């Protein structure tokens, strides 16, 4: 049993508690409060003068499938021989020894989505994992966690260079619709006993059945609206990935209760579709009533910069409490794993971060990281996390 005492506990779901106790046993939180008796056999961590949050969550990364410093042999996020790859699974390419996973822990990030890249119209299945472990199958929180699709410049640039479709935004939308209709026909044939198993169609049937969302890479407002239009036509769950210009059509997003995972904001406007990038997007979408999360898109922004993304959103008008939710509870809800992570509550996984100061201050360090009730020791670079 583990007891954490004396800190400022940001539960996220039930406010902030001064000088509270968190009791952990068998990987789970079993008590949280200011007047909790500590069993004599418990290991005690004093968090006096420190602040405690749930483990941070980044719901859009390419960790483990786009490794740093290892060359093309370990860049597995895009299969560039076909623009339609719904049957591919990010879990099958993740290397748990990617340095970025240690970096995640250094930054207090304990849960992530790993998603295929955006060079294909349909890129494949995302997976939600913890960032501690050496066997990916033991780290999984949700598989699959979504179906990656991509609008805009990336698939067009890749396939125009190959003299293959898509070469226009119309074609991207048309290809997605064709695949969804094919999956509808496949489901009917299988139900009547007339079909043969097809892994591509099988993966898309999960989308049609609303078991998983479309995770739509879309920066520009027109691309966001195309994603929404297709989701409306087929009655699909949808998560907007990046949503760089989402603030321009915030009411359209809000009235459909579509969540948006925003970022990375700390980037240059290197493409036309990034011209509307602003640190105000999270605040403006929140004000419109959109549920938001903040992301790094690692390795495009290092994973341990997640709370810096939140700090800049606060500076641009996002309330502090909402910024914390955007990298904890709201992120967990968007992924579909909030029954286990995202807040400090009894019966949830004991994933916690202890900071030596304000979590959003750039000078603050990660003092301790706890995953599944285990104090993570010997993380390279933990001190500067």
Q: Tell me the per-residue pLDDT of 27-54, one tens digit each, with 9 for 90 and over.
A: 999 999 998 999 999 999 999 999 999 9
Q: Tell me the per-residue pLDDT of 299-349, one tens digit each, with 9 for 90 and over.
A: 999 999 999 999 999 999 999 999 999 999 999 999 999 999 999 999 999
Q: Kindly state the average pLDDT of the residues 178-206.
A: 96
Separate counts of helices (H) and strands (E) for the chain: 11, 16
Radius of gyration of the chain (CA): 21
Domain residue ranges in the chain: 1-54+343-384, 56-341
Q: What is the rounded average pLDDT for all residues in the chain?
A: 96
Confidence of residue 381 (pLDDT cuts 50, 70, 90): low
Least confident of 166-180, 184-198, 346-360, 367-381: 367-381
Residues whose CB is less than 8 angstroms from the CB of residue 280 and which lie 6 or more positions away in sequence, other chains included: 247, 316, 317
Please report the pLDDT score of residue 195 as a whole number: 85
Q: Tell me the per-residue pLDDT of 209-252, one tens digit each, with 9 for 90 and over.
A: 999 999 999 999 999 999 999 999 999 999 999 999 999 999 99
Q: Which residue has the tokens 């295929």?
A: 116
- Please name the CATH architecture into which domain 1-54+343-384 falls: Roll (2.30)
Question: Is 56-341 in the same CATH topology as 1-54+343-384?
Answer: no
Q: What percent of the chain has pLDDT over 90?
A: 94
Q: Fold for domain 56-341?
A: TIM Barrel (3.20.20)
Q: Kindly state the average pLDDT of the residues 109-113.
A: 99
Q: Kindly state the average pLDDT of the residues 4-15.
A: 97
**Pairwise CA distance, residues 127 & 67, whole Å:** 17
Please report the pLDDT score of residue 383 as a whole number: 46
* Residue 380 reports pLDDT greater than 80: no
**Pairwise CA distance, residues 103 & 340, whole Å:** 23
Beta strand 374-375 with 238-242: parallel, antiparallel or unpaired? unpaired
Residues whose CB is less than 8 angstroms from the CB of residue 193 and which lie 6 or more positions away in sequence, other chains included: none
Please report the pLDDT score of residue 74 as a whole number: 75
Please report the pLDDT score of residue 72 as a whole number: 73
Please report the pLDDT score of residue 384 as a whole number: 42
The CA dihedral of 74, 113, 307, 303, to the nearest 10 degrees, is 0
């Amino acid at each position: 049993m583990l007891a954490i005492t004396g800190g400022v506990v940001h539960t996220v779901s039930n406010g902030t508690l001064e000088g509270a106790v968190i009791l952990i046993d068998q990987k789970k939180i079993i008590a949280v409060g200011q007047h909790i008796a500590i069993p004599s056999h418990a290991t005690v961590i004093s968090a006096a003068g420190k602040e405690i949050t749930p483990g941070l969550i980044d719901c859009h990364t390419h960790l483990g499938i786009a490794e740093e410093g290892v060359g093309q042999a370990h860049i597995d996020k895009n299969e560039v021989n076909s623009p339609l790859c719904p049957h591919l699974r990010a879990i099958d390419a993740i290397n748990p020894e990617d340095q970025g996973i240690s970096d995640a822990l250094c930054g207090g990030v304990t849960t992530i989505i790993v998603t295929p890249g955006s060079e294909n119209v349909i890129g494949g299945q995302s997976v939600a994992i913890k960032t501690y472990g050496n066997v990916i199958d033991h780290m999984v929180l949700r598989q699959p966690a979504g179906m990656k699709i991509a609008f805009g410049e990336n698939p067009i640039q890749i396939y125009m260079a190959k003299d293959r479709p898509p070469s226009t935004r119309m074609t991207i939308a048309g290809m997605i619709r064709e695949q969804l209709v094919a999956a509808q026909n496949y489901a009917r044939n299988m139900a009547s006993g007339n079909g043969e198993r097809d892994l591509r169609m099988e993966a898309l049937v999960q989308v049609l059945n609303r078991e998983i969302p479309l995770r739509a890479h879309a920066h520009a407002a027109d691309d966001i609206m195309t994603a929404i239009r297709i989701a409306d036509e087929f009655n699909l769950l949808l998560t907007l990935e990046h949503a760089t210009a989402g603030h321009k059509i915030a009411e359209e997003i809000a009235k459909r209760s579509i969540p948006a995972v925003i970022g990375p904001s700390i980037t240059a406007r290197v493409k036309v579709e990034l011209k509307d990038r602003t640190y105000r997007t999270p605040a403006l979408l929140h004000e419109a009533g959109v549920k938001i999360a903040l992301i790094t898109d690692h390795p495009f922004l290092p994973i341990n910069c997640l709370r810096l993304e939140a700090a800049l959103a606060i500076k641009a008008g996002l309330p502090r409490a909402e910024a914390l939710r955007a990298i904890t509870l709201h992120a967990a809800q968007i992924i579909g794993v909030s029954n286990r992570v995202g807040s400090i509550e009894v019966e949830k996984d004991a994933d916690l971060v202890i900071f030596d100061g304000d979590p959003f201050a750039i000078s603050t360090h990660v003092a301790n990281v706890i995953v599944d009730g285990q104090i993570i020791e010997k993380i390279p670079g933990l001190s500067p996390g």
